């Protein structure tokens, strides 16, 4: 009761103050009073705007937005005498109520909602007033700024205010590519141009919940480092890669620079710090999308002719080459070349000697062949001079060198290998082929083949040590001997089997061929008498090195195995070089099913392995190995047949019978010595499962599955045949009776 009375007194006090305030308002302004369910909001329209008692300017009827600051006045309640900001979710937090969403509502609608929610905890809310104290915007600023985050800015703040609130731009920020992200859309604008021109239309207006992103410049790279202004200025200001101008060569600050409309090549050279003293200003190259252009900066500076300036387009490249040294030539020039410390052209005097000129060139280097110095005369003749012999007092005096002559000191030839002439042929043996150090080696009779191979550094990784060849020098001809070192190392054996070597022999270690799929030239180097052939449906068909220690599975694995379409049941092996042709058939699928090694054939060098394709032409199979499936089946045709198959396997491979098939009259035609036909009732077999009912089926037979319509036609034809037979019999009887009657009548007449 006391609280209600206090509220009533405060209500009258507020009414009196409001009445006094209405007289204080200027008379030239139009006052407006809004009454809505106990609400009383007095506004003042001035210059087209609504001025609330709280002091914030707002267009009439504008909705509350994120960041706005509201003031709730409720006399007698100190908890409400403060400001309430609308958060990024459009909510304010009120005592006794909690979170209340007012974003997107008008001020009057928000006041009505607050009153409705507070009515559960307070009474006499007639004096409740809601004021819009201040308009503010919440903008998230990120990227290359010093203090990224959510910025609470006054209403009307622009991009520059948001960046300033975020601590300003960080070094390396790309000012011409700033992004404003709003409602899933990205707006890119040139902030640097705004700073140059001051035109506010160049930057977008900010609203609450906008995201302002400042990207990094491409010159900063992918590694984070601390930048300073000097470093970034030297790296250029190019942002858009396709539109930037690249300047390099003999300039003080080569970098990538942004393109500006109206800029010339001289402007870009000035932005890059100007040319260096080594620049060839007459040969500056401008590369654009069309064709390279030569720009003569010297001629432009001398004449000032603007027509000499080539047009500059976005994405162009400017290259300032280095000025090349001019060829020095005069009436007193001599040239020193080759292995000297300072080769070049030198001005000589009449009394300058050969030693003086050589000393001016820094003298010979340690690589110079001073015994083979050449003096090339201006007339074209060449004179040799041995400086070592001269220093030893054994040679002639240095030659005179005149203008136009050239002194050439060749490079010394280094050869650390002992000369082969030191070992006479009677004590030398030759090692060639796939060894690490092929060459000519001194031989002793107590040495063996292993000693020689070790002296040559051993075989290489791809050496074919199974076929080492030894050429024996005889009296009039050489004889070849082959040695299987791989087999000896693997299985051992008697030392007597190792070939005996003598001086003058030649040892050849062949090299295994490269993969035939990669290098046919290397593949053909493999001798035919060391090869085996595999063709057909394998991963890599070709010719492969083979020896007696390998098996059929080894060569099949070397060819990357059978392909997916390989017919493993009909592999053929052609055995060659044995006096007569012989072909072996292999059912590799049976080996995989049983693991019986006796199924695998023995292959030798020169044999040919052929793996056919399952999808081969049907004519490739002999009729004696197939069974014909005809009639009402899904896939009629010829099928390969083996002795372990039955009629049911054949029907299953043919895709089964069709719905119209007459299963009680399946016909099997045996084409053996005595051809005969058998009828099989598949329906009865399916009911009884009596395997004795299955007809005998062999390769070369024919199976016919009739259709129901064929049976009906056959029955009709059989019926017609029977009717025809009956009619023919009746006709015969009638003819006989007629003949008898005629004869009887004739006889009676004669009598």
pLDDT at 13: 40
The residue length of the chain stands at 751
The alpha carbon torsion through 55, 60, 62, 66 (nearest 10 deg) reads 0
For 670-692, how does the pLDDT look when each residue is reduced to its tens digit (9 = 90+)?
876 667 888 888 888 888 888 88
pLDDT top residue among 58 and 236? 236
What homologous superfamily does CATH list for 137-217? Outer membrane lipoprotein wza domain like (3.10.560.10)
Q: For residue 188, what are its two tokens? A: 């890119």
Give SS3 for 536. Answer: strand
Q: Is the pLDDT of residue 740 over 70?
A: no
27 pLDDT more than 50: no
CB contact at 8 A, 139 and 178: no
Which has more confidence, 21 or 356?
Answer: 356
Each domain of the chain, given as residue ranges in start order, spans 2-134, 137-217, 229-320, 333-409, 423-502, 520-611, 621-706
Question: Which CATH superfamily hosts domain 333-409?
Answer: Outer membrane lipoprotein wza domain like (3.10.560.10)
Which pLDDT does position 329 carry in this prediction? 66
Whether 621-706 and 333-409 are alike in CATH topology: the answer is: yes
Pairwise CA distance, residues 498 & 511, whole Å: 21
pLDDT at 337: 93
CB 101 within 8 A of CB 90: yes
Reply yes or no on whether the pLDDT at 230 is more than 80: no
φ and ψ at residue 576, rounded to 5 degrees? -115, 160
* Distance from the Cα of residue 287 to its chain's centroid: 31
For the cut 90, the answer to whether the pLDDT of residue 467 exceeds it is no
pLDDT at 49: 32
Is residue 735 over pLDDT 70?
Answer: no
| pLDDT beyond 70 at 287 | yes
Q: What is the pLDDT of residue 751?
A: 39
Q: Are residues 459 and 434 in contact, defined by beta-carbon separation less than 8 angstroms?
A: yes
Question: Mean of the pLDDT values across residues 220-229?
Answer: 59
Q: Please, which residues have CB within 8 angstroms of residue 21's CB and are 6 or more apart in sequence? A: 42, 53
What pLDDT is attached to residue 374? 93
Grade residue 396 by pLDDT with cuts at 50, 70 and 90. Answer: confident
Average pLDDT for 462-467: 84
The rounded mean pLDDT for the chain is 77
Enter the pTM of the model: 0.32
Residues of the chain with pLDDT > 90: what percent?
10
Q: What is the β-pairing status of strands 571-575 and 608-611?
A: antiparallel
Average pLDDT over residues 503-522: 70
Of the pLDDT bands very low, low, confident and very high (cuts 50, 70, 90), residue 292 is confident
- As its CATH architecture, domain 520-611 has Roll (3.10)
- The mean pLDDT of 346-364, rounded to a whole number, is 90
pLDDT, residue 181, reads 92
69: three-class secondary structure by DSSP: strand
HSE value, Cβ hemisphere, 13 Å, CA-based, for 682: 17
CA distances from 382 to 354, 374, 389 (A): 15, 7, 19
* Residues above pLDDT 70, as percent of the chain: 76
* Cβ neighbours around 59 below 10 Å, total: 9
pLDDT of residue 373: 93
Q: What is the pLDDT of residues 81-92, one digit of tens each?
A: 777 878 778 888
The pLDDT assigned to 347 comes to 83
Q: What per-residue confidence (pLDDT) applies to 408?
A: 95
The residue written with tokens 């890599």 in the block is 540
CA distances from 262 to 124, 246, 269, 309 (A): 72, 17, 14, 12
pLDDT at 382: 92
Can you state the percent helix, strand and coil of the chain, rounding each to 5?
A: 30, 30, 40
Count the Cβ atoms, other than its own, within 10 Å of residue 543.
18
The whole-angstrom separation of Cα 94 and Cα 130 is 12
Mean pLDDT of 325-339: 77
Res 383: pLDDT: 92
- Cα–Cα dist 632/655, whole Å: 10
Which fold is adopted by the domain 621-706? Outer membrane lipoprotein wza fold like (3.10.560)
Q: Is the pLDDT of residue 363 over 70?
A: yes
Exposure of 123 in the CB half-sphere (CA atoms within 13 A):
8
Q: How large is the average pLDDT for residues 446-471? A: 87
Q: Average pLDDT for residues 267-285, to the nearest whole number?
A: 88
**pLDDT at position 416:** 56
Q: What is the pLDDT of residues 39-59, one digit of tens each?
A: 333 333 333 333 333 434 444
Distance from C-alpha of 626 to C-alpha of 653, rounded to nearest angstrom: 13
- Residue 96: pLDDT above 90? no
Q: Mark out the alpha helices in 60-178 (DSSP H runs).
A: 107-118, 159-165
Look at residue 419 in the predicted model and tell me its pLDDT.
Answer: 58
Q: In the numeric block, which tokens belong to residue 55? A: 């002091």
Give the lowest-confidence range in 15-29, 357-371, 734-748: 15-29
pLDDT digits (tens, 9 = 90+) for 721-731: 565 566 565 55
Average pLDDT, integer, range 401-426: 76
Lowest mean pLDDT among 191-205, 389-403, 520-534: 520-534
* Superfamily in which the 229-320 domain is placed by CATH: Outer membrane lipoprotein wza domain like (3.10.560.10)
Which of 612, 616, 703, 697 lies closest to 661, judged by CA? 703
Q: Note the pLDDT of residue 358.
A: 93
Give the C-alpha separation, 257 to 652, whole Å. Answer: 77
CA-nearest of 663, 657, 666, 661 to 635 is 657
| 472 beta partners | 479
With a CB cutoff of 8 Å and minimum separation 6, the contacts of 661 are 631, 632, 633, 705, 706, 707, 708
pLDDT tens for 545-604 read 777 778 888 888 888 889 888 888 888 888 887 777 788 888 888 888 888 888 888 888
- The pair of structure tokens assigned to 414 is 């280094």
Cα torsion at 660, 662, 663, 666 (round to 10°)? -130
- Report in angstroms the alpha-carbon separations of 518 from 515, 555, 579: 5, 18, 35
Q: Check if CATH label 3.40.50.300 holds for domain 2-134.
A: no
Interior/surface letters 341-380, b for 16+ CB within 10 angstroms, e for the rest? eebeebebeeebebeebbebbeebeeebbbebbebbeeee
- Cα–Cα distance, 163 to 152 (Å, whole number): 12
Check residue 664 and give its pLDDT. 86
Higher pLDDT, 396 or 364: 364
């Amino acid at each position: 009761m006391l609280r209600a009375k206090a509220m009533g007194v405060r209500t009258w006090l507020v009414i009196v103050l409001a009445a006094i305030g209405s007289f204080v308002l200027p008379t030239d302004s139009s006052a407006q009073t809004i009454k809505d369910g106990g609400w009383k909001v007095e506004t003042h329209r001035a210059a087209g705007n609504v001025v609330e008692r709280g002091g914030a300017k707002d267009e009439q009827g504008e909705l509350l937005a994120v960041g706005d600051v509201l003031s709730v006045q409720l006399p007698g309640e100190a908890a409400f005498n403060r400001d309430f900001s609308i958060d990024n979710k459009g909510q304010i937090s009120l005592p006794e109520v909690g979170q209340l969403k007012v974003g997107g509502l008008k001020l009057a609608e928000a006041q009505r909602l607050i009153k409705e929610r507070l009515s559960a905890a307070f009474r006499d809310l007639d004096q409740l007033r809601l004021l819009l104290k201040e308009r503010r915007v919440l903008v998230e600023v990120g990227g290359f700024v010093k203090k990224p985050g959510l910025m609470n800015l006054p209403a009307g703040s622009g991009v520059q205010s948001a960046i300033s609130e975020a601590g300003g731009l960080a070094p390396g920020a790309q000012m011409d590519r700033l992004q404003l992200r709003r409602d899933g859309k990205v707006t890119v604008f040139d902030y640097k141009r705004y700073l140059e021109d001051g035109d506010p239309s160049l930057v977008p207006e900010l609203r609450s919940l906008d995201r302002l992103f400042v990207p990094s410049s491409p010159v900063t790279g992918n590694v984070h480092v601390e930048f300073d202004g000097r470093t970034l200025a030297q790296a250029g200001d190019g942002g858009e890669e396709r539109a930037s101008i690249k300047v390099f060569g003999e300039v003080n600050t080569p970098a990538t620079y942004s393109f500006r409309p109206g800029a010339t090549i001289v402007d870009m050279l000035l932005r890059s710090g100007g040319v260096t003293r080594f620049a060839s200003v007459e040969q500056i190259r401008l590369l654009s999308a069309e064709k390279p252009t030569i720009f003569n900066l010297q001629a432009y500076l001398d004449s000032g002719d603007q027509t000499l300036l080539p047009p500059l387009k976005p994405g162009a490249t400017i290259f300032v080459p280095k000025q090349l040294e001019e060829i020095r030539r005069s009436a007193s020039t001599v040239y020193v070349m080759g292995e000297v410390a300072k080769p070049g052209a030198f001005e000589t005097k009449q009394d300058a000697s050969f030693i003086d000129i050589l000393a001016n060139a820094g003298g010979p280097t340690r690589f110079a062949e001073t015994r083979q110095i050449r003096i090339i005369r201006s007339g074209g003749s060449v004179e040799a001079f041995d400086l070592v012999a001269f220093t030893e007092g054994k040679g002639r005096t240095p030659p005179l060198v005149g203008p136009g002559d050239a002194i050439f000191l060749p490079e010394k030839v280094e050869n650390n290998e002992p000369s082969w002439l030191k070992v006479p042929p009677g004590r030398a043996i030759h090692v060639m082929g796939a060894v690490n150090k092929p060459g000519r080696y001194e031989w002793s009779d107590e040495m063996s083949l292993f000693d020689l191979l070790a002296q040559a550094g051993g075989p290489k990784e791809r050496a074919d040590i199974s076929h080492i060849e030894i050429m024996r020098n005889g009296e009039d001809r050489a004889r070849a001997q082959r040695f299987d070192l791989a087999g000896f190392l693997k299985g051992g054996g008697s030392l007597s089997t190792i070939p005996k070597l003598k001086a003058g022999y030649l040892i050849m270690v062949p090299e295994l061929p490269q993969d035939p799929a990669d290098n046919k030239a290397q593949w053909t180097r493999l001798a035919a008498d060391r090869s085996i052939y595999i063709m057909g449906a394998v991963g890599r068909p070709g010719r492969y090195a083979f020896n007696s220690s390998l098996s059929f599975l080894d060569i099949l694995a070397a060819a990357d195995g059978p392909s997916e379409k390989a017919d493993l049941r009909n592999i053929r092996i052609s055995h060659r070089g044995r006096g007569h042709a012989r072909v072996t058939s292999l059912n590799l699928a049976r080996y995989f099913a049983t693991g019986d090694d006796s199924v695998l054939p023995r292959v030798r060098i020169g044999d040919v392995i052929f793996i056919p394709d399952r999808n081969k032409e049907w004519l490739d199979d002999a009729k004696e190995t197939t069974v014909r499936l005809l009639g009402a089946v899904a896939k009629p045709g010829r099928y390969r047949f083996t002795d372990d198959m039955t009629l049911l396997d054949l029907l299953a491979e043919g895709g089964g019978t069709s719905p119209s098939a007459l299963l009680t009259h399946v016909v099997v035609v045996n084409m053996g010595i005595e051809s005969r036909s058998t009828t099989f009732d598949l329906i009865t077999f399916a009911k009884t499962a009596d395997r004795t009912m299955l007809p005998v089926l062999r390769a070369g037979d024919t199976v016919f599955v009739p259709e129901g319509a064929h049976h009906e036609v056959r029955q009709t034809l059989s019926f017609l045949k029977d009717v025809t037979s009956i009619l023919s019999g009746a006709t015969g009887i009638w003819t006989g009776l007629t003949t008898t009657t005629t004869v009887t009548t004739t006889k009676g007449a004669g009598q």
